[in-house]
Chain A
């Protein structure tokens, strides 16, 4: 009968309204943050029941996971896209899932037209637009061409692309050279300075990087990326350490490859002056690592996340090339002076590939400076962000480790089932493009992948 002699010890489950009421009347309690699986949707819950746990799924996921974490990306070359991936004339690759011209957001349309001018397929935007509208330009996702591109993600035939060799599987992936900050094609800027820089990349910087990289015998990226993660980079919004480490390795090779000191100095300055230089390298490494996981039958792991400024799309290891799309969210974040949320373009770019390999927003704990920069708070919030992602991933990365978590691995292997069950969707760190073409970057922030992509994928897995 001691039950009535001591104060009650209360455990509340689910709705926090119970806990709040008790707190108001001075009763201490322990609250268990529980929600019904799949937000209480009985159909999805039944589907989850069928898919959890199933030995064949778990073993397929183990195979896909091994590919995701044991990929061995090596930066081996830089050459024009028509040589590296056989990209034909009058084809423009873009970020994200496939998208027709009429549905493209203005910055993406502006970048497509700018690329057509740069290639000399049309003299001005009006003629370029006519070519597109008459169907004389093929538009395709980078992902279909073993490539990825940040923001608008534009790639055309003459643009030099970095070549990443995945030595664990023998496949390759590609990305353009990061153009730097300010007015750049990837943010939809399209004036003469943008085209002038693209030509310099094509005629000078690209060939020199290619010669240097071929002579180097390749630069191992996995250890470099692991190191940069311990230096405050999450390799999406912050690449300063990785860029500096790569620059340090690359410089002697560039010096050997350069014909004259002026050309070398300009490339060294360009590479050294861009803290985001490594972003495109990290993305191509992500693509090289994830491609072999696509097509592991039965696996429920996410291997692609990408946005085209209109839709967010994911691809799942067990579901092959099929995209599951939903309208893309607009990032929340910090804006450069003079800009605000009303100026922001919805989320865009293939860069969310890094979140699928345990970097970017999912590794926020490694990068408190980014948490600040993207408006996600301080150290505590950064740790919480990574902790939350552990609920939807199946493993800790054996190579990408986070010093502030006592070297625990970054969360990797996003499982569609866990996303639907918990309602927690992957967190992505991202740049924010202005929605008016030609503006460029106006801020940086975080964005969530839309849940609808994952519920569709779950339904397909249940078929």
Chain B
């Protein structure tokens, strides 16, 4: 197969993907290889010794939640002594925002690509403030985790099954017409999602319907994890096509930025995680910021996030730019992508499709690297989000990938 054919096949699988949210399940029941004392994290693989503060905090929180440790100190000792096995979410058909921690007892969304049959998983978004994904692990976080996984998940799972699933690809397309880019802004999608599920949650005849509805509607980021799992299911279908130069994952662990390419299998190409350029909440500044973190750049890989920034000018204002910056960012991304998304369209560009299919060759040729539209985490565990902005994927990842694609073994 020529590179052109390989890329066409990869793009065809992305364009025809129909990501459907089918339900929720406990991670150990559905996520491959998620045994006891396995901790999945965001980004390329990383050991405890090199993990950043927020990710360590989230590991501590997960260990307390699972009952593997009674105190944070115990949890640290457990991690340091090699008592936990760490691995990338991406190696287990899963994705996680920020620290991205997933362990066996956590409930995960199940998103199925009805075209390929492949599934992907992500945890339930905890909302804003003190949250595990930012490395918080106090009693309120553990209480919320327990409630979400034991009380909320069964109610929402029953509602999803009663609804016959939710078409995520279509819902994202609709939200793109409502100012979302499905990464840093999921306000419309969250509202549409709650509205679609509410009648079915109401009819569930069990559980705390009121708290469930209030929780789902409380934070605009509730839909983010669903969108991420949808992107993962879609892109996994396009992964592993010999010769294809299309990027199928971009992810950060807070220390490194890594990409995977369809034609180079499960290999990661990594470079130090970049700083995020952005605007800080009052009282915080660049010196407080953790380097870029989270699997959420899977959205950019699928033609959303910063690729679709022209659809979400309100975000740019949040991070200190003009609507022109939003248009320019999306236009830049057309330079490094192979095609336009047939379903995700941008009203402000007269409904042009979003830039889709980041091509390693084009990135290296133009010197333009993908822009990621992202939240900024505090570098210490548990403080939470301190700002939002844009980061640029490091060129080094793409140069390494190009070299690997050119190497005889890859051909």
Contact = CB atoms under 8 A, between A and B. Distances in A.
A267 to B, nearest CB: 8
B347 A369 contact: yes
Contacts of A272: 195-196, 198-199
Interface string B311-323: 0011001000011
A241 interface: yes
B188 A244 contact: yes
B179 A251 contact: no
Nearest to B323: A406
Interface residues of B, number: 37
A379 B347 contact: yes
Given A230-B179, A240-B178, A252 B213 contact: yes
A262 B203 contact: yes
A406 B326 CA distance: 11
Contacts of B180: 231
Contacts of B179: 230-232, 241, 403
A228 B213 CA distance: 21
Contact of A241 (B188, B210, B347): B188
Interface stretch (A64-72, A122-130, A253-261, A417-425): A253-261
A404 B348 contact: yes
* Interface secondary structure of B, over-half rule: helix
A406 B322 contact: yes
A256 B190 CA distance: 21
B284 interface: no
B210 A379 contact: no
Given A244-B188, A255-B202, A379-B347, A230 B314 contact: yes
A247 interface: yes
Interface string A388-423: 000000000000000111110000000000000000
A296 interface: no
A407 B315 CA distance: 12
A88 B179 CA distance: 45
B317 A241 contact: no
A11 interface: no
User: Which of B178, B179, B190, B202 has the largest count of A CB atoms less than 10 A from its CB?
Assistant: B202
A379 B177 contact: no
Contacts of B192: 240, 244
Contacts of B214: 251-252
Contact of B204 (A240, A261, A369): A261
Interface string B189-232: 01110111011101111000111011001000000000000000
A368 B202 contact: no
A216 B216 CA distance: 17
B197 to A, nearest CB: 9
A404 to B, nearest CB: 6
B349 interface: yes
B351 interface: yes
Given A230-B179, A369-B177, A251 B217 contact: yes
A296 to B, nearest CB: 34
Nearest to A252: B214
Contacts of B190: 248
Nearest to B178: A231
B112 interface: no
Interface in A217-269: 227, 230-233, 240-241, 243-245, 247-249, 251-252, 254-256, 258, 261-262, 264-266, 268-269
13 contacts: A227-B187, A231-B180, A231-B187, A244-B194, A247-B198, A251-B195, A251-B213, A264-B209, A265-B200, A265-B203, A403-B323, A406-B313, A407-B323
Interface of B: 174, 177-180, 187-188, 190-192, 194-196, 198-200, 202-205, 209-211, 213-214, 217, 313-314, 317, 322-324, 347-351
The 4 closest A-B pairs by CB, nearest first: A244-B191, A248-B217, A403-B313, A269-B199
